[in-house]
Structure 1
Amino acid sequence: MGAQWSKQVERRKLIADEKKTLQELNESSGCNFPGCDHKPADRKNWISGLNPEKLHLNKIVWPGTHDSGTHKIGIKMVSRPFAQCQSLSIYEQLVLGTRLLDIRVNENRKVCHGILATYGIDVVINDVKKFISETESEIIILEIRTEFGHNDPPEFEKHLEEQLGEYLIHQDDNVFQKTVAEILPKRIICVWKPQKSDPPKSGSPFWSSGYLKDNWIDTDLPATKFESNLKFLGQQQPVTSRKYFYRVENTVTPQADNPVLCVKPVTNRIHGYARLFITQCFSRNIADRLQVFSTDFIDGDFVDACVGLTWARIEGKA
């Protein structure tokens, strides 16, 4: 018992030290970067507001949500705090400005996070279709994967194509160089990542896992995750040179050996440092690699930071 208590004391001290590291970096370097003061007039239509004829797909900094379909997962005040990563519905996230959705499914076509399941995939599809019907130029990356430990839902590609076919941007390396206007009226890049089924092939309505990459590490230590994100981002090619999307997740994850297991207080250790991360990308000369930037519990300021950097790229300021 004494050894376990000592371990927990050391662990809490390490977390406190890492939080202090980020606080001090934030105080010393600030959060100024090209486009940091830009505010979209309408977050719901922010891509439209940046001129689709000038905006190339590979210049967009995509605000994304981590575990996007978890706002109603589990039982409220019981299991939900251990699995909930977003407080808004899919439609509300899109209206706020989210342009990448991270959806995990099980064999029953239910959205899930680990062993906990919530509503069916059609709730996500209907929210996406509602948003698309209310906008004209907003492009969405819809990542759908079979959750680890589950089997692929049967005939899932067929169902997705039946529901979203008219909006799907087919898998094609040339898409990255095109402007939004050249891609329209198609609106959705759907990345489908099955566990056991064959991956989508070139020319398919769906994109395979190789088109959306990341280097996720499982940690609740905020400075460790922050520096890992910078390190792996620095190993990527500039956005104008690559034929895939690369994601950085501004999140940390509860650990089983730590008494704090609820998502929100843990991920809050890094949540407020998204603008600092962008600033550090410029300081380390890797800002030209940042592309998909995701978070738990997305808010307007996170969206504004991504839109501001996108605007700066269009204007030749970044």
Structure 2
Amino acid sequence: MGAQVSKQKQKRKLLTTEKKSLSQLQQNSGLVFPGSDYHPPDRKNWMSGLDPTKICIHNIVWPGSHDSATNKIGIRFVSRPFAQCQSLSIYNQLVLGTRVLDIRIQEGRRVCHGILLTYNIDVVIKDIKKFLSETQSEIIILEIRTEFGHEDPPEFENYLVEQLGEYLIHHDEHVFQKTVAEVLPKRIICIWKPRKSPAPKAGGPLWSAGYLKDNWIDTDLPSTKFESNLKHLGEHPPVSSRKYFYRVENTATPQADNPVLCVKPVTGRIHGYAKLFIVQCFARAIADRLQIYSTDFIDGDFVDACVGLTHSRIEEKA
């Protein structure tokens, strides 16, 4: 018991130090970067507003949501706070400007986060289709994976193709060099990551797991995660020469050995430093690597930061 109390005291001291470290870095660095003063007049149609003929797929800084379909996960006020990473529906996230969705499913085609379940994948598909029907030039990266500890839903690749076929941008590494206008009217890059089922075939309607990479660090320490994100991002080539998407997630994760187990207060330790991360990418000469940038509880400021940097790239100012 005494050892556990001592460990918790050390953890709290380390957390305090890491919070101060990020706060001091922000004070010293500021929040100004190329495009930081740009705000899209219509987040729902921000790709259209930037001119689809000028936006190259690889140059987009894609605002994404982590564990996207968890707005109604578990039981409200009981289990939900331990697994909820987003407060908005998929449709409302897309309207806000989110363009990368991270969907976890289990064998019964229900969305899940760990052992907790929520609505059927059909709800996600319906929201995506509604958004696409209301817009003309917005491209979505839809990542769907079988959650750890679960089995792949039967015939799921066929289901995705049946539901989204008319919108799917087929696997083709030349897509990275194309503009949004050149891939239209197709609208979705769908990356399917099964655990045991065969991976999607090259050239088919779905993309395999290797085309969306990340380096997930499971920690509730904000500066540790922040610096890890920068380190791993710097290990990848610039977006102009990559044939895959790379994601950075501005999140912190509750740990079993810490008394704070609810997602929102833990991820909140790093949430406000999203713009600082972009500033530090420029300071460390790796801003040309940033591509997919995701967060818990996505908001307008986060979207604007991504869109602003995209605008700056189009204007050749970044």
Measured after TM superposition, the shift of residue 201 of structure 1 is 1.3
Instruction: Give the structure 2 partner of residue 210 of structure 1.
Output: 210
Shift of 1:306: 0.1
Q: Give the alignment of 1:68-107 within 5 angstroms.
A: 68-107=68-107
**What residue number does 1:257 align with?**
257
Give the gaps of 5 or more residues in structure 2. none
Distance 1:2 1:116 in 2: 33
CA distance in 2, matches of 1:147, 1:2: 37
Alignment of 1:1-318 (within 5 A): 1-318=1-318
CA distance in 1, matches of 2:195, 2:301: 35
Superposed displacement of residue 2, structure 1: 1.7
Distance in structure 1 (CA, Å) of the matches to 2:281 and 2:290: 8
Q: Distance in 2 between matches of 1:103 and 1:110?
A: 10
Q: Distance in 2 between matches of 1:252 and 1:220?
A: 5
Distance 2:138 2:32 in 1: 27
Superposed CA offset, 1:235-264 (max 9, x none): 000000000000000001000000000000
- 1:181-238 Cα distance to aligned partner (Å, 9 max, x none): 0000000000000000110111110000000000011100000000000000000000
Which residue identity is paired with 1:73? I
Structural RMSD (CA): 0.4
The SS at the match of 1:47 is helix
Superposition deviation, residue 291 in structure 1: 0.0
Amino acid in structure 2 at the alignment position of 1:27: Q
The count of residues paired between Structure 1 and Structure 2 equals: 318
> Match for 2:310: what amino acid?
T
TM-score (norm 1): 1.00
Q: Deviations over 1:123-175 (max 9, x none)?
A: 00000000000000000000000000100000111111111000000010000
Runs of 4+ in 1 over 4 A off after TM superposition: none
C-alpha separation between the residues in 2 aligned to 1:3 and 1:52?
A: 59
Q: Give the distance between the partners of 1:201 and 1:31, measured in 2 at CA.
A: 43
Hey, what's the Cα distance between the residues in 1 that align with 2:241 and 2:92? Answer: 33
The unaligned stretches of length 5 or more in structure 1 are: none
% identity of equivalent residues: 76
Alignment TM-score, normalising by the size of structure 2: 1.00
Give the deviation of 1:32 after TM superposition: 0.7
